Amino acid sequence: MAKSSQHILATVREKIGSYRKILVGFSGGIDSTVLLHALYQIKISELPSLEIRAIHVHHGLNIQADKWEAHCASLCQKWDIPFICRHVTVEGSNKGIEAAARAERYQAYREELLEDEIIVTAQHLDDQAETVMLALKRGSGPTGLSAMPESLAFQAKCGNTVLLRPLLTISRHALEHYRAEQQLPWVEDDSNQDDRYDRNFLRLHIMPRLSERWSHFANAVSRSASLCAEQEALLDELLQDSLDEIIDYRGGLYIDGLVHCSVAKRNALIRRWIGLHQLAMPPFNQLERIWQEVALARQDAEPICRLGNVEIRRYQGALWVVKRINSLMGKQYQWNYPEDYLLPESLGMLVVMEGEGQIRPPQENEVVTIRFGLQGSLSIVGRNHSRSSKKIWQELGVAPWMRERTPLIYYNDTLICAVGCFITPDGFVGENNVGIAIDWQNSEHWINNGEFSSELFQ
């Protein structure tokens, strides 16, 4: 085996470290084929305990997609590697078809990963250089210019894991040499030749000219990205205490803690707060909008700044990240009580807890429904007089966006409770009796009250 190929094997072996369960993103192209083969070689020659699976995502965007799936399945069968193919539907977004396809691909990874398994992808040195160039084109700062990290936390359906890119120091030329030496079959995506896409334009027309003039250009760009990442890591460390002081335990960012900061420090803190929510970093103009139009809006306003599928909102002197959902106002769902109920719009699950609360259980002739959107005036336990729904939400400290999302439990057409917030007299089991509680699991819900006994709202 050539020295360059041995270097690839040694690099992959070093990068996987102590990980022993690996899911490989496998498109069938040269890069992922080399990566999968290198892991296969490591398994049969050095680490028989290594568990490798391959996942191919069928985007349905190319007429050759079925052939690519068959090719990948055949290669995995030859190497005795378990193969998964996930078919996804890609819908164009404001960020383009490439971004939409990538989002679907990574969602497939999240859903397929097993416990203690990491996801490994085949981005290489030239991909890294192209990513930096695209970041320069967008006018990105040090975070964007840091490009792709070799390893980062990855949230999968089964829990937290790691996304690893072991080939980031390996050039495309070295991967092509390895493929040729090992005589590995691969598939070629003809869309890679379409220079209407920015990355393809760089790869086909710009990067070859730069590398022809400066042979180590990609290495130099990658080194600059590493230096930017190092500076960002230092800023993370230096700003951590300041960030901790102005973050609410529910995830909000106190505006008062930002008012007296310099613009540079304020933007750095907002960026890090956004990063904690695992969101794409907004450009400078959106940071300014968050500050000017949301944080500094008049007190009686309910300002919103949209970032992809979330919104930045203001409430009780803090900024909040709020997931965007379809309107639930007036919606009604029948609940097969007492079974667990999965709420719409990924709002979590309702679980009945017998003998642990003060909600009366339904009678046999009562139909239990879940509704959304409280309206009109009503009385609640712990209050002497009826109040408007808006007043009740305000008194309980329920954020405006949570008011439509909070499940309302009805027996027939009688309101019994708003889960986690209040019980009505019709739903109260009585002072000396024990009823049920309804646990709202995996929700964004929170209430800010210190005046009432929390037991009344179970």
Note whether 372 and 350 are within 8 A (CB): no
List, in sequence order, every residue forming a beta bridge with 437; answer none if it has no partner: 353
- The span from the first CA to the last CA of the chain, in angstroms, equals 67
Helix axes of 125-138 and 217-245: crossing angle, nearest 10 degrees? 60
Which one-letter amino acid corresponds to residue 331? K
Q: Is 195 annotated as a binding residue?
A: no
- The residue type at 221: V
Strands 341-342 and 304-307: unpaired
Distances (CA, A) of 95 to 9, 92, 128, 198: 36, 8, 20, 12
Question: Is there a binding annotation on residue 29?
Answer: yes
Annotated binding-site residue? 191:
no
On whether 386 is known to bind a ligand per the annotation, the reply is no
Q: Token pair of 66, please?
A: 């079925």
* DSSP-assigned beta bridge partners for residue 330: none
Tokens of 7: 């270097």
Which of 443, 432, 446, 435 has its CA nearest to residue 411? 435
Those residues whose C-beta lies under 8 Å from the C-beta of residue 431, and which sit 6 or more positions away, are none
Residue 412 has which token pair? 């027939």
Whether the bond between 338 and the residue before it is cis, its omega within 30 degrees of 0, is yes
Residues tagged in the binding site annotation for ATP: 27-32
Residues tagged in the binding site annotation: 27-32
